[in-house]
Copies of this chain bind each other. A is one copy, B any other.
Amino acid sequence: MILTKRKLAHIVFESNDKASKTFDVILLVLIFSSIIIAVLDSVGELHLKYGKIFYALELGFTFLFTLEYILRIWLTSKTLKYVTSFYGIVDLMAILPVYLSFFILNTQLLSVIRALRLLRVIRILKLGRYLSEADFLRESLKASAAKIQIFLFSVLTIVLIMGTLMFVVEGPVNGFTSIPAGMYWAIVTLTTVGFGDITPQTPVGQLLASLIMLMGYAIIAVPTGIVSSEMAKRRMPQNYEKEKTCTFCGFDHLERGDNFCKKCGEKVRD
């Protein structure tokens, strides 16, 4: 089989025949393997034992992902759009730190780059391409975004005021060393995470903490309520689409897909 550029583009960008599906599966396996290598390499003992093998494998993966990146740039008809798109940037970020580590000889900078190389776990985002089923969740969240933003702003206001109050009441002696530290504690408490690395010691501080915890209890209901009601709405098509009106009898509860008025039986014009 001779690979024309068109056939190759089909294999890389589509996933509706055998060849293109095989390409996708190979890419999935590569992504997962490279991430597992990165994770294992971070464990001290394994790095000591297999560090060199891991490094060799990493160079191999980087080479393959570079090939993929070049292929996508070459095959796409809209190069600029791809390079500046979300996945274009992810594809570049997945290989760049490794190359940077070659060109920088300054040892201090190298340790920073070496740390950055760990960020190649961002390759996991390359998988997003294959998750078309996530649309329901994404749309529900997008539709709730404005309300969630206001909610987060309110939470941050509470966090700022509560963090300041706790800094004033408890003070540096009890671990609340500054307003940012107090805000960190307020977030830990309001989100019910509760690490316990900083805890109020004075009775007034404990009373304030109790207040903020009970508030968190009532507040956690809000984002849940927003997303729940958004999802519930999305599941009930009749709420959306009662927009068409029968031009004959004026009945206005027709759904988009209705060809005939369900009240009088006349044909409905769009």
A binding-site residues for B, Cβ under 8 Å: 35, 38-39, 42-44, 115-116, 118-119, 121-122, 124-125, 127, 131, 133-134, 136-137, 140-141, 146-148, 150-155, 157, 160-161, 164-165, 167-168, 172, 177-181, 183-184, 187-189, 191-197, 199, 203, 206, 209-210, 213-214, 216-218, 220-239, 250-267, 270
Contact = CB atoms under 8 A, between A and B. Distances in A.
A150 B121 contact: no
Contacts of A267: 265
A143 to B, nearest CB: 11
A231 B229 contact: yes
Contact of A191 (B122, B217, B222, B256): B217
A225 B222 contact: no
Given A43-B177, A119-B164, A233-B236, 4 more contacts: A136-B147, A228-B228, A229-B234, A258-B262
Contacts of A154: 134, 137
Given A226-B231, A239-B236, A157 B125 contact: yes
